[in-house]
Amino acid sequence: MQSNRGTPLTPSQAASPHAAAVADSSVTRSASQQALILAGVCIAVLVLPLNFGGAAVSAPTIGTALRGSPVAINWILNAFMLSFGSSLMVAGALADLLGRKRVFAVGVALFAATSLGISAAPSLVWVDFLRALQGIAAALVLAGSSAALAQEFDGHGRARAFSMLGTTFGVGLALGPLLAGFLTQTFGWRSFFLADAAIGLTGFALGVPKLRESYDPHANGLDWPGAISFTAALTLFTFGLLQGPESGWSSPLIVALFVGAAVMAIAFVWIEGRVTRPMLDLSLFRYPRFVGVQVLPLATAFCYVTLLLVLPTRFIGIEGHTAIGAGLMMVSLSAPMLFVPLTAAHLTRWMSAGVISAIGLVIAAIGMLWFSGIGFDASATVLAIPLFVIGVGAGLPWGLMDGLSVSVVPKERAGMATGIFSTTRVAGEGMTLAVASAILAVLTRLRLADALPGSPDASAHAVTEAAQRVATGDLAHAAAFLPALGQPVLVHAYDGAFRVLLHMLVAITLASAIMVLGFLGRTPSPTSRDPASPTLS
């Protein structure tokens, strides 16, 4: 899978394993033109990581302002993650089929339009719907930008361009919570999405006009059956996880959702094994080391991404910090992404990428265990230290995963391998967030039920609804369902549930470290791709 310039395909090209670029290479770019194009693309792509962490800070305020149900509040984050993950492979195929520049431009425009729509949304239902569209737009932006830059730059220039794009993601992850906190507290939550739109449109104006168009001459359509079955499986499974605590895990609705997800997953595997040009080539899972690489994004999802999205709810809704204060504390977790991934790349001179990644996961687990022992009355400085340790630990595999995803398979399978990895990463992050949210709600419910005098059966619904409200940081409405308990008891229940959740995440992260060491401990350092190439999460 090579482009016409003889380089491995980018993630956005992964859906088309035989893709080749067709671009007007006769156009000569000056250094200033290339710099302008790169600046425009980076500014446009910046909205993805800004929105990723920033929306988590704004979510509690949005839920309170629009008075949505706990499930609807959870979908503020999950709708974006789910549609992003399930659309990434399709977006790559569309970039090859319709043109990389066109897909990038449509993605940026759609992202800006949905941001404007969210800023004017009259209800939480509209916010969730537009967030789902925004996830599709994010997939188009990431797919189109990666492929378009691969056609604009060659050799060391291409490496530098992707390094700059990777740095942009690090900056966005680090500054997103702080920006969202400042805008939400100063001008209201709608201002954050207005800023999203303004940043995206600025990048569009700078980067899109000068980009060249390029296509895959062999692209002949999309794997629609595969795309539909994959998206349906993810959607049904995630919705079941989010709805389970409210409807009951044995209710007919939840059982039907999980059964439907299993059927769609089986159908997807069956379809992909029989189509001529599959959206996702399952034969790559025959390589044991490639299977090991898929553990890394799931591990970082549990030890980093979940905290990036859940902690703002704790800081704002449970502990009562301001949005700005929560944003400042979240910087401790995300700031290491500015420098640790590049440090990890340098460390590969002395030890294998698999060993470095395993060490990073152990460090992250230590940080989470440390954080779990800190009380709710601790100062921001005390909280910042373990959060920083978690960020450093997660940053080590973060900087190596993309290169590993292609270095552990034959070179001619690099494009599809990267696409599978990207899909595993983004879709896995959405599912781990849903799993963590469901666990937190269930554990909180158990503690609230134990706290009720006599635990009357008539209050079962009230306990369930209150637990859901507490898990989303809405203490005021939770207390209304259980007036006999009071907010201190609700906070105590959340504290105990959150500690257990952290211990579960520690166990998963340590188990992942052992698996990574077993699969990848002797894997050579990745050299086929720049370690700083861009990823959102």
CATH class of 1-15+27-222: mainly alpha
Mean pLDDT (the chain, rounded)? 81
Per-residue pLDDT averaged across 386-391, rounded?
A: 96
pLDDT digits (tens, 9 = 90+) for 37-51: 888 888 988 988 888
DSSP code for 122: S
Binning pLDDT at 50, 70 and 90, where does residue 175 land? confident
Integer Cα distance of 146 and 165 in angstroms? 9
Q: How many C-beta neighbours within 10 Å does residue 78 have?
A: 25
Half-sphere exposure of 218 (CA within 13 A, CB side): 14
Kindly indicate the confidence band of residue 189, based on its pLDDT and cuts at 50, 70 and 90.
very high
Given pLDDT bands bounded at 50, 70 and 90, which one contains residue 409? low
Opening angle at CA 480, ends 477 and 481, nearest 5:
100
In this predicted structure, the answer to whether residue 8 has a pLDDT above a threshold of 50 is: no
Q: Is the pLDDT of residue 525 over 60?
A: no
The pair phi, psi for residue 482, each rounded to 5°, is: -130, 70
pLDDT for the residue numbered 415:
54
Higher pLDDT residue, 252 or 531? 252
Q: pLDDT above 90 covers what percent of the chain?
A: 27
Q: What is the pLDDT of residues 114-146, one digit of tens each?
A: 999 999 999 999 999 999 999 999 989 988 887
**pLDDT classification of 220: cutoffs 50, 70, 90:** low
Please name the residues in contact with 504: beta carbons below 8 A apart, sequence gap of 6 or more: 439
511 torsion bin: left (phi>0), alpha (psi -120 to 50), beta (else): alpha
Q: Which one-letter amino acid corresponds to residue 238?
A: T
- Chain position carrying tokens 């698999």: 354
Dist CA 211 CA 226 (whole Å) = 31
- 475-491 mean pLDDT: 84
Q: At what angle do helices 224-247 and 414-451 cross, to 10 degrees?
A: 10
For residue 163, what pLDDT is reported? 66
Evaluate if residue 451 carries a pLDDT over 60: yes
- DSSP lists the bridge partners of residue 214 as 23
Where do the H-state alpha helices sit in 452-535? Answer: 460-471, 475-481, 487-520
Q: Which DSSP symbol is given to 531?
A: T
Phi, psi of 526 (to 5 degrees): -65, 130
- Can you tell me the mean pLDDT for 511-534? 67
* Maximum mean pLDDT: which of 124-133, 409-418, 431-440: 124-133
| pLDDT class of 537 with cuts at 50, 70, 90 | very low
pLDDT surpasses 50 at 310: yes
The pair phi, psi for residue 209, each rounded to 5°, is -60, -30
| 498 vs 500: CA distance, rounded Å | 5
Please give the structure tokens belonging to residue 364: 């992250």
Residues in the chain: 537
Task: Decide: 475 and 318 in contact? Cβ < 8 Å.
Answer: yes
Q: List pLDDT tens digits, range 315-357.
A: 988 888 888 888 888 889 988 988 888 888 888 888 888 899 9
pLDDT tens-place string over residues 89-106: 788 778 878 888 888 999
| 236: its two tokens | 């049904």
Residue 439's contacts (CB-CB under 8 Å, 6 or more residues apart) are: 501, 504
pLDDT surpassing 70 at residue 411: no
Cβ distance 333 to 398 under 8 Å?
A: no
Banded model confidence at residue 197, pLDDT cuts 50, 70, 90: very high
Percent helix / strand / coil, the chain, rounded to 5: 80, 0, 20
User: Is-contact 427 394, C-beta < 8 A?
Assistant: no
Amino acid at 245: P
Instruction: Evaluate if residue 153 carries a pLDDT over 60.
Output: yes
